[in-house]
Amino acid sequence: MRTTRIPFRFRAARAALLLVAAGLASTGCGYTRVGATDGSVGTVDDRPHGTSGTVPPVGREASVGRQPDKSGPTRDIEPDLDTSEARRVVAVLADSSMYGRGYTHHGADRASRFLVSEFQSIGVRPLVDGYLQPFPLEVDLIHDVAFSMDGEPAVPGVDFIPYSGIPSAAAMSVATIDAGYGLELFAPPGSRGLERLKQKAVVVRSGLPDSLKADLPPELGSVEAKAFGAAAHGAAALVVRSENLVFGRSHANSPIPVFEISLAAPIPESIGFLVESVVDTMVTTANVLGYLPPNQPTSSDSLILIGAHYDHEGSIGSAYFPGANDNASGTAMLLDLARALASSNRRLGVVFAAFSGEEEGLFGSRAFVASPPVPLERIGLVVNLDMVASADDGVVVMGGIEQSDAFAAIREIGGNLDAALGDSAGHAIRARRVSAISDHFPFAEIGVPALYFYTNKGRQPYHHVRDVPATLEWDDYAFTRELILGFLRTRLN
């Protein structure tokens, strides 16, 4: 699931800040020497819409009852709760040999070759030559990173994360200075008192203080804004104190090294760092595309597209992001559905799309839409799978509000599944409006009906090195898979 960040408009943000600069002295946002920490680490919001930047508008969410809908016909359901194949696939995709399925060490390429072999073994035909739809992608790569606080080495992905678009930097050690929320960083260069920042590591809180959120543009709270502000005053680095360490791709390169640490960690008096990175480099990656033709008489050439992104956040130095839930789980479900549908009756053709480039900004699905291997008007429905194995509160169907008839069918199938499982409490199934947070969106925005399934409010760490197979919730996965499979069969038969 992709992470969004707010691009920084430096001049506009600085102008807005100067309008309220006179009031900053009373806000507690001025510079102080390094002192004690405040606050504590918050719990991770593990939902697909939890991001390190702003959350896209989610619109209206419709909650449905947990009991089966008795108004429609009851179907005989025999749920298959076997998750052995999915566990195998997730273990392979989340293994260290895949390097987080990013673009350092060709991790995404390794994953795509594995998926080609899986399609072949299932009997899914290639939709394009060799199953692969290549496309170019501009990425930032961090080949090596080291970071220490007060002489103690820190572990990447656990104790700190680097901002993805940071420049290479030779090994150095610098003193720190605590700048509160960093709002004075946007004062003009040469302002009185700010010369102290030269060749220092500026430590700031993430975001904006609650007392000023209504008066300041949100761009001022972004990492990008604070990095450019610190650099304008000659700072050597920026350290951002955040409640949750969430690694995500930047939408703007930083002029100085930037590192995020936990808000609960003591503010260091000095930091050391080394960065070996390449920013804005072009790579070639590929969607993996397969096809099952109809095997029953039909008068329609309509298709159903089932998609899931297989890429993740890759690696940074010695650490890698396994991405077990995000989105090895969705990719495993894509393959599970392909196995089941390969032996099912099908009046319609089914396209299986394992997308790359999602974490960089939905580039794989956009490449499919820009150069469709099948006419887009033939796609009657897109079903997207992203983060489907960690839930405390059922399943969300994004697009279920727009596709109300489909959601009503999904709700009924869910109730029947609960009855078949003997689950008296049932699973919550909620509808949500479409927003631009996964690979369903490029289809939905051009009018192709699209549904995005994800499990709701799980405990799985988001964009974190601890998103590992051992912590997935396989009962949630199995229910979600059977829910989607039951719905697909109503559309294909």
> For the domain that residue 67 is a member of, what is the CATH number?
3.40.630.10
155 and 248 assigned to the same domain: yes
Give how many domains the chain has, as a whole number.
2
pLDDT tens profile 7-42: 444 443 443 444 343 334 333 343 222 222 222 222
437 and 337 assigned to the same domain: yes
Q: Which amino acid is at 138?
A: E
332 and 251 assigned to the same domain: no
Q: Does residue 273 form part of some domain?
A: yes
* Single residue among 279, 296, 320 that ends a domain in this structure: 279
Q: Does residue 459 form part of some domain?
A: yes
Question: What does the alpha-carbon distance between residue 492 and residue 292 come to, in Å, rounded to a whole number?
Answer: 12
- Who contacts 372 (Cβ-Cβ below 8 Å, separation ≥6)? none
Q: b vs e for 233-259, b when ≥16 Cβ sit within 10 Å of the residue's Cβ?
A: bebbbbbbbbbbbbbbbbbbbbbbbbb
Low-confidence ranges of the chain (pLDDT < 70): 2-76, 251
For residue 425, what pLDDT is reported? Answer: 84
Instruction: Give the phi and the psi of residue 174 in degrees, each rounded to 5.
Output: -135, 155
Instruction: Give the phi and the psi of residue 283 in degrees, each rounded to 5.
Output: -130, 165
State which residues form the domain around 351: 61-139+281-492
How, if at all, do strands 303-309 and 379-385 pair? parallel
Helix, strand counts (H, E) of the chain: 9, 18
Beta strands in 108-151 (DSSP E): 125-126, 132-149
Q: Does residue 46 form part of some domain?
A: no
Question: What does the alpha-carbon distance between residue 197 and residue 189 come to, in Å, rounded to a whole number?
Answer: 11
For residue 79, what pLDDT is reported? Answer: 86
pLDDT tens profile 154-184: 999 999 999 999 999 999 999 999 999 999 9
For residue 10, what pLDDT is reported? Answer: 41
* Single residue among 237, 261, 279 that ends a domain in this structure: 279
Instruction: Give the phi and the psi of residue 400 in degrees, each rounded to 5.
Output: -65, -25
* Single residue among 231, 256, 279 that ends a domain in this structure: 279
- Who contacts 424 (Cβ-Cβ below 8 Å, separation ≥6)? 418
How, if at all, do strands 132-149 and 303-309 pair? unpaired
Q: What is the CATH number of the domain that holds 185?
A: 3.50.30.30
125 and 162 assigned to the same domain: no
For residue 2, what pLDDT is reported? Answer: 62
Residue 411 · residue 23 · CB < 8 Å: no
